[in-house]
Structure 1
């Protein structure tokens, strides 16, 4: 197979060194064999890690054009922390107080408790202020995390 991670890394690092500039022929500059280099350069272009004008001569031979440049995605790929893409790709999930109450109420409704106790707990949850719901949700999340080994064991049992 022509695709080679070391060749790809060499190309990306070479282009990162001259960023934001471009290189006329990164393959020649790095001594990468033409057919192996072109396959890997094309692969990086297809994944939008490198910008290059790949063209064909005589209808079938691929050439790298005269300008190759690493993209922001390519730089982020090289970054140990994922770069700006990692920051921009962060998703913040926010739950509205009422949604949290509904989730807690649903679990209480399904719980195996005496009817009187169940009604008392449900009423208490409905009357809780937002700060108390936040605190209760945090505690429930902690409890869930503490029980992850049991959850993993349950998943393993169901899947095997």
Structure 2
């Protein structure tokens, strides 16, 4: 199975560290080595994107995938997931008397 929780955690942490800026090549390269191969990396990026934790910047080209690092970003849901505190929605959802 290509889904790798350690890789997903690494992806989200790296993206949160550079937020709100774009990821640079030197921050990107460790993810390639953790993933082991491009297919595994792409599968995990798409998985996280499907859960709205990041924007992957992935486009499909014939039989391959291109990753636009300028579009790869963690979302507010991804940040809230890492913080594990329910996020702003939890705060806004609190009713006071």
Task: Pick the TM interval, shorter chain.
Answer: 0.7 to 0.9
Q: Within the alignment, does 1:41 sit opposite 2:45 as a pair? A: yes
Structure (1 or 2) with the greater helix fraction:
1
The runs of 5 or more residues in structure 2 that have no matched partner are none
Structure (1 or 2) with the greater strand fraction:
2
Equivalent residue of 1:56, what SS? Answer: strand
CA distance in 2, matches of 1:20, 1:85: 20
The TM-score, its normalising length taken from structure 2, stands at 0.78
Match of 1:79 in 2: 83
Residues matched between the structures, number: 92
For the aligned residue pairs, the C-alpha RMSD in angstroms reads 2.3
Structure 1 segments of 4+ aligned residues over 6 angstroms from their partners: none
Higher RCO (C-alpha under 8 Å, 6+ residues apart): 2
Q: 1:52, CA displacement in angstroms?
A: 2.5
Structure possessing the higher radius of gyration over alpha carbons: 1
Contact preservation (8 Å) 2:22, 2:69:
no
- From 33, 52, 58, the equivalent of 2:56 is 52
